[in-house]
Structure 1
Amino acid sequence: MTETVSAAADYRQTVFLPKTDFPMKAGLAASEPARLARWLAGDLYGSIRRARADAPKWIFHDGPPYANGDMHLGHAMNHTLKDLACRTHGMLGFDAPYIPGWDCHGLPIEWKVEEGYRAKGRKKEEVDFLSFRAECRAYAAHWVGVQREQLKRLGVLADWDEPYLTMDFGSEAVIAAELMKFATSGQVYRGAKPVMWSPVEQTALAEAEIEYEDVVSTQIDVAFEIVEAPNYPDLLKHGPVYAVIWTTTPWTIPANRALAYGADVEYSLCYLAGLSASGWSGDTAVNASLTAALDDRMAALDQWGNKFWICATELIPQLEARITERGIRGSIRVKQRLPKDALKGGIAHHPLHHLSGFFAERRPLLAGDFVTTDAGTGLVHMAPDHGEDDFALCKAHGIDPVFAVQADGTYADRADWAWLAGKGSVISPKLNAPDGPICSALREAGALLSAGEYRHSYPHSWRSKKKVIYRCTPQWFVAMDRPLAPSAAADAASRSPVPGESLHGSTLRELALAAIDATRWVPAGGYNRIRAMVEGRPDWVLSRQRAWGVPITLFVHRESGEYLRDPAVNARIVAAFKEQGADAWWTVPAQAFLGADHDAADYEQVTDILDVWFDSGSTHAFVVEARHGVAQADLYLEGSDQHRGWFQSSLLEACGTRGRAPYKTVVTHGMALDGQGRKMSKSLGNVIDPVKIIDVHGADVLRLWVASVDYQEDVRLSDEILKGVVETYRKLRNTLRYLLGALDGFTDAERVAHGDMPPLERWVLHRLAVLDGEIRADVADFAFNRMTARLAAFCNTELSSLFFDIRKDSLYCDPADSAKRRAYRTVLDTLFHALVHYLAPVMVFTAEEAWATRYPDAPSVHQGVYPAVDAAWIDEGLAARFATFEALRAQLALVLEPMRQGKVIRSFLEAEVTLPVPEALADLDLAELLLVARVNAGPLRSPAASRSPVPGESPAGISATVTDDPKCARCWRHLPDVAPETQLCTRCAEAVA
């Protein structure tokens, strides 16, 4: 067969090639800023709000990030997910506004300002209080501006001109008003409790402000001599008996006030015996060391001879292991197992009782239900200053804290503690070391049984990165288990989802748990997580000993100790804050707030700062309610760490004042990690800067990564992963580019009705209708990765590799008015409108670029909605037929691809195939759909007859040869009707004519 074509037969100008100004190379880093500038100048956000004014509202409430640094990858992921949620719901036809916000108060900002002071050799105490607050405000305002510009560049569409800031005067007024609602309902109280305390930052911290790091502490076993055992007098007849406790915080021993035992734990009376030395060698130095160690142990044996220890029976092996040093082998032997309640009513000496004063007070043995045999000795020393269980048990028995540790972590200056003066902070390793002052004092007193290293997880401040402690100090709290007062219950009921519902007698914990049950949690595991936290959380610590924030706006009567609950006073405070901000608490005289009914001399004005989590927890009041005009937001979306942070503080704040949650649905995402699954940190050098990604690849690529990952888990990003995202972007962009080129010149006059379309076009519309339903379901489930995967697969597999490939011949070569070409272009037009809107929430700049390329004078694509899909397009019978076709196509490729690779054919168009034609496909032009020269119907061969297939033949009975039909010079198809004189097939001859 002759393949040459006459030079005169050049029909290139007669082919309808796609034409578009939409470039193949995106150049996003250069083009996106210009497009963003046009959006901002044209107030795209406001235009959408005006266009959706009558649409049903769908309200997202933005959790406020701290205004104290550049956007990192976690911020970028978080805000892209929020933007996706709002944009996709906007595409569903809702009015979905996005009011961004920032948390501007609190320690993160105050700490940064203090760091600036320290760098300059200045002290915070040397700065005027209000001037310091002004510096904090300026610092926050600076970073709000920086982060706002970075988030704009990310393509987040929001009300950037009017964000909410917790430091706005109006916001501070609402925060104070919300606090006073809690006070009015009687849920606020002042008391001394152990709270998480940062000796470095000298303030109480919330659980959400704590992070845990592995540390090596000193673990010690300490003996407390029991001097009374009224419930089991025989205990002391054998000789001196000691209760042995184990702790990893030696610094708490001086503050001990009692011992706790488990009522159901079995204890044994035991003694030290069988000491010997092992490991002798020819090494003189080693032997000398062992001899010294043995001498120490023999001294210990002398010291403890005829003395007995009490330890939980099952923990004796652990105690024995701790007191046995290198080269020494000894044992602890049981004298007897103690009867139940043997320790009840017992009294012990503090190991340092010889110091007299506080230490000479006797220490009772108390039953504690928190005592376990997981570790230690089964006996726990109680320091009510430094533990929640300690405090509660001691309080129940009338034992008070001693307030031994000061704000900076040093011991109080008192006579009986003089030996600890100048020894440094309690978090100092030197203070707690085996040779430090506490262990040395215990050793000299003969009470230290062991001292060694212990690795464990320990709480640190997430800002200073230093250890925190439990410290008992007077603080303000919100009670979790105190019933709402009747007046507050009535007010909360008026805001409740059930009008008139009485909340009188309900506690904050009960209301919060009920609200958790009424909320949708995505993923579902979030429900168990936050419910467990709220079930077990202590009272909410409201007060902070800092300067930057909203003050606790209460006046406490100096004689009664009760705080004032006067609506008129509260109203004057709120009015002053609206006008002057929270600084008014220090600039307006107290009498001006109190008015004529109260004398300022009778009241203490509280100056503690309100927990910053209360600030952010109150934002629903001045954003969701005040600006959106609804009672509950449809969505809160943050990282999973916010179950203990903003989700919880918002829940408690709203339940305490309104009796319900401020949200209907809560979605959480994981953390952003590097390609190896490690948390990003500067020290590891694995930080991926989102700003740099945008500068190189464009924001749409970063957004596509966010939309592609399973964000409900921790997600990874590396240069290699990013390459895959760039490739996915390229394929999606090329789909839009093909559609734009193929639709060049398309008008409504070309449209073909659905019923008049060929089966292939109707099948594509069926697939589009199915896809539309799936995408809408994905949006409802916030399953953006599933949505993006569907879109990519549809574009790559069903469109580019099948539909576009099959129909390019018709597009290029059919006459302009042919029914098939018109039907194809009609479907392409439908596909363009659908895909550009499906992709618009993800690839915001690219979708707008594609839309503007086709409709330069039309409103933004982001003002549109997902196109309506005709239910008549769904055709399951047709779908089944094309499933058969796709299976046949895949089988044929197994035959033709080896022939192409072996250069038997240059393309499938040269192949004439024989195959069994399924009945469902009998009416289709299979040669056209399979992109081959000719299809001959053949019988279905049995597998047995095809076990040794010849080249060009498949086990399914498909065979192929090189066609003898001539090649059309215009369409390149091999057809029997190609005229020798024109080298054109009949179809192309008509098109040329």
Structure 2
Amino acid sequence: MCADTPDYKDSLNLPKTDFPMRAGLPQREPGWLARWEEIGIYDRLREKPGRTPFVLHDGPPYANGHLHIGHALNKTIKDMIVRSHQMMGFDARYVPGWDCHGLPIEWKIEEQYRAKGLNKDEIDIVAFRQECRAFAAGWVDIQREEFKRLGVTGNWADPYLTMDYHAEAVIADEFMKLLMNGTLYQGSKPVMWSPVEKTALAEAEVEYHDHTSHTIWVKFQPIAGLEGAVVIWTTTPWTIPQNRAVAYGEGIAYGLYEVVAADEKALAQVGEKLILAQSLADSVATAAKAELKLIRDVAASEFAGVQLAHPFRGIEGGAGEWDFDVPMLPGDHVTDDAGTGFVHTAPSHGDEDYQLGLKFGIPMTYNVMEDSSYRADLPVFGANARADQEKPVLRVIDPDGKEGGANVEVLRTLARVGGLIAKGKLKHSYPHSWRSKARVIYRNTPQWFAAIDRAMDDGMGTYGDTIRQRALTSIEELVAFTPATGRNRLHAMIQNRPDWVLSRQRAWGVPLTCFVKVDAKPTDADFLLRNDTLNARIKDAFEVDGADVWYQDGFKAQMLEGIANPDDYRQIFDVLDVWFDSGSTHAFVLRDRADGVPDQIADVYLEGTDQHRGWFHSSLLQGSATIGRAPYKNVVTHGFTLDEKGMKMSKSLGNTIVPQAVIDQYGADILRLWVAQADYMSDQRIGPEILKGTADSYRRLRNTMRYILGALDGYTDAEAVAPADMPALERWVLHRLAELDQQVRAGYAAFDFQTVFQAVFNFATVDLSAYYFDIRKDALYCDGATLTRRAARTVMDALFQRLTTWLAPVLVFTMEEVWLERFPEGSVHLVDFPATPGDWLDEALAAKWATIRQVRRTVTGALEIERQAKTIGASLEAAPEVYVTPETAALIGDLDFADICITSDIAIKTSAAPEGAFRIADVADTAVVFAMAAGEKCGRCWKILPDVGTHSHPGTCARCDAALSEKGL
């Protein structure tokens, strides 16, 4: 290029856009939120006619604290599902909701009381409930704004709350359907009980942590029929006073053993005889610090009809409490995997024990009170018997959640009466309340249950006559699971679960709206008052004043007027399990709202994997009981959030990630992108380094969109080129868009955001930024109104329309910013994914272009070597010779291959490549010989061509000379 060549920079078609490189998301995102609210995007989407409803039903979070990262993951996935289905042509509705009743909120109010030195039991129950209501309402408002800040769309102006009066009325009505269809009953059986919270718990309210328990080996002496003592092993010494039987396994090989030696401090006595499972005798000997000798085999049949003496039989001060015979009973649950081969059976404190007791008519005990203390009049262990002690009350678990004195006192008493042969400690997984974090116990209490195997004559028997049958059929035939493993997990839980414990001994919730006859037993036919008129009255009263009316003086008489004598009936004041509340939402949200669905069946329920035993589970049971099937068509499950090392997040470890902190640093779109990039069906890792990587991916994508915007400066439809008239490279890009359109729609339909995002991201950063844009930059910058430039801009418009909409469900703020750059009066969230013509697909062209890219890769590799050797500074200084097969040459023949390779010239040869030509191992039959380009450097496009300097504009090539003339320069 000559020194006096003019500067043609201003004549180039350089990209122009106001779209900034720096996103500034934390500062700018609130402005878009305000704009969406101002123009009412959610309501405007509902106005689109003729669309098929698509309803993702929101599993309600508890309204009791700021959002954690799990909330952000959950709500973002839901939002992506809703937005993507809306943009695929559905009327995708989303009504956010909150769980407002139950122990989490009641516990918070009690904590406030304890801090003030107040006693909850001394407060009027309606006043207490109103405090719970106000607490929940405050957190609903806080969480609503936090969810909105994540960019989550929905009917935020009218969410559902389980404490709304209509919701409480419907929950009560759904409960009364169980009353009327015969599945409701009161039973006394062992349930998981929290002594700290003084209430029964459902499995979904329990989490398992390691705990070190006392272990004891206890002798039960035979009254007659056996030569030695039967030895049991247990990790719950506190249940020994409640023992009523000893179970054995009919298939286990037992033996009679004699203690032939023992350590000085051993509890076992030399000469005594013990009966044990033979496979466990060695472990018992080790625990007892004794040597055992097998005297003879003992067949399980020898235990039939044998009666044993309770270890506390005849104990001083026992008042005959334990002077009954303890039967030996066969039990299918008895194994010789651990222990002794015999199972101590306390029917009030374990489900298997309870079932065995039912089978053989073994009586229940009521020795353990709601705070896990022994009943005061229990001999030896009750407070009355221990009145002279410093701590007369023995509890299994103290009010602070720590170990009480019951285990140790029972252990000491067993040792004193000679019933103990060994003791120890065992670390094992043990159930804890997920709210108080304290251990729970199995405790027999009168509770209300839904019988899941009782036939219902309700006219809804299409999928079975019982709750269990309907639930299992729903899982097997009616519901799709993502991931598919969810089906087996939920199926196993439903198949093996006991009856549903509906009652809780708490104050804040929907009461069990039923009345029982004062002088009747739970098994009597007239025990429960079943009356349709009464049920309607209760529901109507709840609609007007909420569930608080249940606790007002005179309510019972008002409800029973003209139906029954109020004095003959007792009002139940237990409240419903909060899972029944949320399990009923399909009725008052899906059925009763204008934005619901009449059949009460949602398209999607989505929650964390723990909800197989929570909301998925309770909704399935409740729906099976009241509408005859599951209230959902799809169950989608996500994993938990972990730190970068894969550890569970904990405040004590200091590894928690707060959503608002991420938003303050990066913006909500980065948090949303983290969700989209990960396989949410597994556990998610998040931390500073992961977020940095996410932000880097975002920047690369943002640069791609910025380039498209710049390249489209001034573009109008008048410039468009029909696909058939486009160069092959543009037609290949359209083919890729058609492929992606199928992938994107299929991925979004399958709730697979990771596949969608990775496909679009790789296309944007590899196929576009690193390839197509790189090649067409020259034509876009330097060409006049040529076919190639117009075709490229037509393709850029197609790219814009698709990339912005495809990515809008993920990057809700950024794609809005991109869209508004071209269409400032609209919103990307008001449009659908554009239809992509089927004839854009061209598999033959794609195959051809795959070969071309491989040849180009070889050329690029050869030029990189020369660049590193400083032979050239830029690829435009080269004019390489490329040796290919005749077939490949034919593919390249109709292309300007120099443009494809970004060189000034190129020679395609089909002869044998000279020795030493550059090759790439995985690209067959292609070789490159480097050569410098001949001619002068164009002062405008920088290509080196022989004709430079021979045109009217100094120092230009023919292409640039024509472009300058076109501009009138």
- TM-score band w.r.t. shorter chain: over 0.9
CA shift in 2, pair 1:940/1:138, >3 Å: farther
Residue-pair matches, total:
934
The reply on whether 1:217 has 2:213 as its aligned counterpart is yes
Report the equivalent of 1:123. Answer: 119
Alpha-carbon distance in 2 for matches of 1:946, 1:712: 52
Report the equivalent of 1:258. Answer: 245
Candidates 605, 612, 615, aligned match of 2:578:
612
Report the equivalent of 2:893. Answer: 922
* 1:170-220 deviations in Å (ceiling 9; x for gaps): 000000000000110000000101000000000000000000000111111
Report the equivalent of 1:281. Answer: none
The reply on whether 1:978 has 2:948 as its aligned counterpart is yes
Alpha-carbon distance in 1 for matches of 2:2, 2:810: 48
Report the equivalent of 1:844. Answer: 812
AA paired with 2:3? S
Report the equivalent of 1:566. Answer: 531
* 1:765-810 deviations in Å (ceiling 9; x for gaps): 0000000001111011111011000011000011111111111111
1:519 touches 1:664 (CA, 8 Å); kept in 2? yes
- Tell me by how many angstroms 1:423 deviates: 4.2
TM-score (norm 1): 0.92
SS at 1:597's partner residue?
A: coil
CA shift in 2, pair 1:157/1:940, >3 Å: farther
1:251 touches 1:432 (CA, 8 Å); kept in 2? no
Candidates 779, 783, 802, aligned match of 1:810:
779
SS at 2:880's partner residue?
A: strand
Alpha-carbon distance in 2 for matches of 1:937, 1:128: 93
Alpha-carbon distance in 1 for matches of 2:850, 2:381: 87
AA paired with 2:840? W
Alpha-carbon distance in 2 for matches of 1:577, 1:373: 55
Report the equivalent of 1:496. Answer: none
2:860 touches 2:901 (CA, 8 Å); kept in 1? no
Alpha-carbon distance in 2 for matches of 1:450, 1:729: 64
- Tell me by how many angstroms 1:559 deviates: 2.5
SS at 1:961's partner residue?
A: coil
Structure 1 residues 747-826: aligned runs within 5 Å: 747-815=716-784, 817-826=785-794
2:919 touches 2:928 (CA, 8 Å); kept in 1? no
AA paired with 1:368? G
2:251 touches 2:300 (CA, 8 Å); kept in 1? yes
Report the equivalent of 1:602. Answer: 568
- Tell me by how many angstroms 1:7 deviates: 4.8
2:534 touches 2:563 (CA, 8 Å); kept in 1? no
The reply on whether 1:623 has 2:589 as its aligned counterpart is yes
Structure 1 residues 719-730: aligned runs within 5 Å: 719-730=688-699
- Tell me by how many angstroms 1:345 deviates: 1.1
The reply on whether 1:689 has 2:658 as its aligned counterpart is yes
Report the equivalent of 1:249. Answer: 236
Report the equivalent of 2:389. Answer: none
- Tell me by how many angstroms 1:658 deviates: 1.2
CA shift in 2, pair 1:635/1:419, >3 Å: closer
AA paired with 2:329? L
CA shift in 2, pair 1:154/1:430, >3 Å: closer
1:915 touches 1:940 (CA, 8 Å); kept in 2? no
The reply on whether 1:39 has 2:36 as its aligned counterpart is yes
Candidates 479, 482, 504, aligned match of 1:519:
479
The reply on whether 1:507 has 2:466 as its aligned counterpart is yes
The reply on whether 1:19 has 2:6 as its aligned counterpart is no
Alpha-carbon distance in 1 for matches of 2:745, 2:759: 12
Structure 1 residues 100-111: aligned runs within 5 Å: 100-111=96-107
CA shift in 2, pair 1:781/1:474, >3 Å: same
Structure 1 residues 580-979: aligned runs within 5 Å: 580-587=545-552, 589-627=555-593, 628-631=596-599, 632-815=601-784, 817-858=785-826, 860-917=827-884, 918=888, 919-939=890-910, 941=912, 956-979=926-949
Alpha-carbon distance in 1 for matches of 2:307, 2:454: 35
Alpha-carbon distance in 2 for matches of 1:464, 1:708: 35
Ranges in structure 2 where 5+ consecutive residues have no aligned partner: 387-391, 522-526
2:620 touches 2:629 (CA, 8 Å); kept in 1? yes
AA paired with 1:820? T
Alpha-carbon distance in 1 for matches of 2:196, 2:779: 75
The reply on whether 1:269 has 2:269 as its aligned counterpart is no
Ranges in structure 1 where 5+ consecutive residues have no aligned partner: 230-234, 276-293, 325-329, 494-500
Alpha-carbon distance in 2 for matches of 1:621, 1:255: 43
- Tell me by how many angstroms 1:947 deviates: 9.5
Structure 1 residues 205-354: aligned runs within 5 Å: 205-229=201-225, 235-236=226-227, 241-275=228-262, 294-297=263-266, 300=267, 303-305=269-271, 307-324=272-289, 330-354=290-314
Alpha-carbon distance in 2 for matches of 1:323, 1:879: 77
CA shift in 2, pair 1:948/1:608, >3 Å: closer
SS at 2:105's partner residue?
A: helix
- Tell me by how many angstroms 1:264 deviates: 1.1
Candidates 132, 137, 146, aligned match of 1:141:
137
The reply on whether 1:72 has 2:72 as its aligned counterpart is no
Report the equivalent of 2:524. Answer: none
The reply on whether 1:458 has 2:430 as its aligned counterpart is yes
Alpha-carbon distance in 2 for matches of 1:479, 1:834: 53
1:194 touches 1:385 (CA, 8 Å); kept in 2? yes
SS at 1:224's partner residue?
A: strand
More displaced stretch, 474-483 vs 888-897: 888-897
Alpha-carbon distance in 1 for matches of 2:371, 2:583: 29
AA paired with 1:245? I
- Tell me by how many angstroms 1:417 deviates: 4.0
1:895 touches 1:954 (CA, 8 Å); kept in 2? no
CA shift in 2, pair 1:704/1:257, >3 Å: same
1:946 touches 1:955 (CA, 8 Å); kept in 2? no
2:517 touches 2:529 (CA, 8 Å); kept in 1? yes
Report the equivalent of 2:450. Answer: 478
Alpha-carbon distance in 2 for matches of 1:438, 1:473: 22
CA-based RMSD: 1.8
- Tell me by how many angstroms 1:107 deviates: 0.3
Report the equivalent of 1:286. Answer: none
SS at 2:295's partner residue?
A: strand
- Tell me by how many angstroms 1:966 deviates: 1.5
Structure 1 residues 175-190: aligned runs within 5 Å: 175-190=171-186
SS at 1:225's partner residue?
A: strand
Alpha-carbon distance in 1 for matches of 2:366, 2:175: 28
The reply on whether 1:151 has 2:140 as its aligned counterpart is no
1:250 touches 1:432 (CA, 8 Å); kept in 2? no
SS at 1:772's partner residue?
A: helix
CA shift in 2, pair 1:331/1:597, >3 Å: same
Alpha-carbon distance in 2 for matches of 1:44, 1:962: 58
CA shift in 2, pair 1:397/1:727, >3 Å: same
- Tell me by how many angstroms 1:900 deviates: 1.3
CA shift in 2, pair 1:947/1:354, >3 Å: farther
1:710 touches 1:785 (CA, 8 Å); kept in 2? yes
Alpha-carbon distance in 2 for matches of 1:616, 1:146: 21
AA paired with 2:89? G
1:476 touches 1:543 (CA, 8 Å); kept in 2? yes
Structure 1 residues 94-105: aligned runs within 5 Å: 94-105=90-101
State the identity as a percent. 48
- Tell me by how many angstroms 1:321 deviates: 1.9
Candidates 3, 6, 31, aligned match of 1:6:
3
AA paired with 1:874? L
- Tell me by how many angstroms 1:932 deviates: 1.1
The reply on whether 1:411 has 2:362 as its aligned counterpart is no
2:396 touches 2:406 (CA, 8 Å); kept in 1? no
* 1:127-147 deviations in Å (ceiling 9; x for gaps): 111111001001101111111
1:66 touches 1:103 (CA, 8 Å); kept in 2? yes
